[in-house]
Structure 1
Amino acid sequence: MSTTNRSAGNPGTQPSAGTSTASSSNPARLRPGSVRASMPLTGWRTVDLLTMVFLGAAFGIAYWGWGLAYRVPSEALGSAFAPISALTYGPWLLAGVVGGLVVRRPGAAFGCEVIAALVSMLPGTAWGADTLYSGIIEGLGAELVFAIFGYRAFGLVVAMLSGALSGFLESIWELYRFGYLSTWQGSWWVVYAACFVVSGVVLAGVLGWLLTRALARAGALNAFPPGQELRESRAV
C-alpha cells in the first residue's frame, strides 16, 4: 500500500484524483508541503494512529516541562506589561501544528494536541482540567486551518496560519476563563490576543514546520508525506 498519494517505485502508476500533481521525474516542481496523505484521507493506517499518539505524548512531556520553565520569561515580560506575557505561550501550540504537518489526515492536528494536553496533565499542573480544555481549543484552531485548505497544502504559510488561529482561539478562552475581560481594559485584550497570535505563528508555526523538516531529514518520517517530499526533492 502506498504511504502517500502516489506509489513510490512504480513510475507507471498515475496519481489518483485530487492528489498532488508533482512529478518525481521533475523534482524541481515539488514544493515542501505539496504531498497529501494516501487516499482516502479518512483511511487512517495503523502507523498514522501510532505516530499521532507518539507525537502527542512526546509533546505532552515537553509541555509539562515548559509549564515549569516558562515562568521566568513570562513573569519578566508581564512585569513590564501584563498582556505581552502571551509571547511565551506559543510552545503549547506545537503539537497540533506538527501533528497536522506529519500525518496530514482529518483529525490529526486536533488529536495530537489533545493527547499532548492529557499527557501534560498526568504529572500535575497548576491549571488542572483547564489544561484539557485548552488542548481542545488549540487543537480545533490548528485543525480548522488544515481543513480550510482541504488537507491539500502543508507548507510554511499553512503552518503559520495554523499556529495563528490556534493562538487566537486560546487567547479568547483565556481572556474569559481567567477573568481578564473584567479586569483589563479593551486595548489590553487586543494586545494579549495579538501577542498570542504572534507567538503561535513563530513558536508553533515556523518552529513546527522546521521541526517536521528536521524529522524528515533524519529519516523518521519515511512513511509519511514529508519523507516522500524529501526523497523526491533529492531525486535525479
Structure 2
Amino acid sequence: MSTTNTPAGATATGPTAARRGSIRATAPLLGWRTVDLLTIAFLGAAFGIAYWGWGLAYEAPAKLLGGAFPPLQGITGAPWLMAGVVGGLVVRRPGAALLCEVVAALVSMLPGTQWGFATLISGILQGLGAEIAFALLGYAAFGLGAALLAGALSAPLEAVYEWFVYWTDWGWGYKIAYGLILTAAGAVIAGGLGWLITRGLASAGALNAFPPGQEAREHRAV
C-alpha cells in the first residue's frame, strides 16, 4: 500500500519533479499506522537522549549570553523545541508533533534532570505549539516555511510558562524580549535544523515509509 497521497493535479505520466507542495500522509489523517507510532517513539527517544545531554552542556553558553543580556538565554532553549518539529515533518498526522515532543521530554527525564516534572510540562507546551503550526497549515504543507513556523510557535507557550516559574524576578521588558528571542531562535534552530535533519534522514533512505521519503525519491529521479 502506498504511504502517501497523490497531490491534486498530479498526473500518472510526466516528470514527478513538476510536483508542487508537500506530500500529505495517507487518508484519513487520523488513521495512524503502527509504523507511525513506532517512528514517533524512536524519534522521541533519540531527541530525549539529546535533550538530556544538552541539559548538561547548556549552562556555559547560557551564562555567557546571559552576562551580555539576560533574555539572550532564550537562544539556548531553542534546541529543546526540535522534536516536535521533526515528528510533525516526518509523520504528518494530527498529534505527531505533540506526541514526539512529549516522548522526548519523558525520555530526557529518565536519567534525572534539575527541572524534574517541569520537564514534562515544558514538553507538552512546546509540542502543542508545534502542533498548532501544522494545524494552521491544514497538515498539508511541510516545507522549510512550515518547519520555521513550527519551530517559532513551539516557543511562546513555553516562554510564558518560564516567565512565572524561572524568570519571576525579571521585569516585563526582559520577559517579552526573552519570548521574542526564544521564538526567533526556535524558528532558526529548531525549525531550520529540524527541516535539515528530516531531509537528511529521507535522503539516507530512513523515511521510505513516509512522505519525506517519497519526496526524496522523486527529487533523485529528476
Q: TM-score, normalised by structure 2?
A: 0.95
| CA displacement, residues 187-229 of structure 1 (integer Å, 9 cap, x when unaligned) | 1112101110111011100000010000001000011000101
| CA displacement, residues 106-157 of structure 1 (integer Å, 9 cap, x when unaligned) | 1000000000000000000000000000000000000011011110000111
Change (3 A) 1:92 1:39: same
Q: Structure 1 CA distance, aligned partners of 2:73 and 2:86?
A: 24
Alignment of 1:79-98 (within 5 A): 79-98=67-86
Structure 1: 5+ residue stretches without partners = 7-18
**How many pairs are equivalent?**
221
Question: Are 1:193 and 2:179 matched, yes or no?
Answer: yes
Q: Structure 1 CA distance, aligned partners of 2:51 and 2:190?
A: 12
Structure 2: 5+ residue stretches without partners = none
Q: Percent identity?
A: 62
| CA displacement, residues 93-115 of structure 1 (integer Å, 9 cap, x when unaligned) | 01000000000001000000000
Matched residue type, 2:148: M
Change (3 A) 1:22 1:196: farther
CA contact (8 A) 1:63 1:92 kept: yes
Change (3 A) 1:21 1:206: farther
| Alignment equivalent of 1:184, drawn from 170, 184, 191 | 170
Q: Structure 1 CA distance, aligned partners of 2:74 and 2:99?
A: 24
Question: Are 1:227 and 2:216 matched, yes or no?
Answer: no
Q: Structure 2 CA distance, aligned partners of 1:209 and 1:165?
A: 15
In structure 2, the partner of 1:14 is none
Q: TM-score, normalised by structure 1?
A: 0.90
Aligned-pair distance for 1:22?
4.2
Question: Are 1:4 and 2:13 matched, yes or no?
Answer: no
Q: Structure 2 CA distance, aligned partners of 1:30 and 1:61?
A: 37
Q: Structure 1 CA distance, aligned partners of 2:192 and 2:37?
A: 24
Aligned-pair distance for 1:29?
2.2
| Alignment equivalent of 1:28, drawn from 17, 23, 32 | 17
SS class of match (1:89): helix
In structure 1, the partner of 2:154 is 166
SS class of match (1:49): helix
Change (3 A) 1:211 1:79: same
